[in-house]
Amino acid sequence: MTRVLWVFAFLTVSVWTLLAWGVYGLINFFGDTAARNADVVTNHPESVEWLSWGLSALRNVGLAAVVFVWGVVSFVILAVPTLLSLALGTLGRGRKTAQGPMTWPPQARWPSDEPRPGYRDVTPEKAPRDAEIRQIERQ
């Protein structure tokens, strides 16, 4: 049941993303066109500069609003199956997890003090003691 919800949620987010992408492109196109053609409104150079700057700022605010609304709506769409999964207690099910640590060797002890089969003992010999070190230094 929750798998169907997740598939539906991801499909909804992908359709919503395409719609938001289209709106983003339209705002970018028309905002850029209006800013570039600000000289149609007036011939005064300073007014054209301010109008172009204002239309560009308005375009940027619109683009930021599209991205913000897209993020909020996508979050809400993905929150619905998450909350339903939590409510149903199925969040995280279906994953195979370990049933605890594996013990090695399988029995309680090896029959002797030999290392495990397939491994060779690479532990160093007994470290020299201080008295042995002094004796070696005297020589």
Rounded Cα distance between 87 and 83, Å, is 6
Rounded Cα distance between 108 and 123, Å, is 22
pLDDT for the residue 42: 85
pLDDT for the residue 117: 62
Q: Quick one: what percent of the chain has pLDDT higher than 70?
A: 71
Question: Which residues neighbour 91 within 8 Å (Cβ) at sequence distance 6 or greater?
Answer: 2, 82, 85
pLDDT for the residue 94: 56
Q: Tokens 């619109």 label which residue?
A: 62
pTM score, whole prediction:
0.60
Cβ–Cβ under 8 Å, residues 74 and 14: no
- Greatest alpha-carbon pair distance for the chain in Å reads 103
Task: Quickly state the pLDDT bin for 124 (edges 50, 70, 90).
Answer: low
Which runs of E-coded beta strand occur in the chain?
A: none
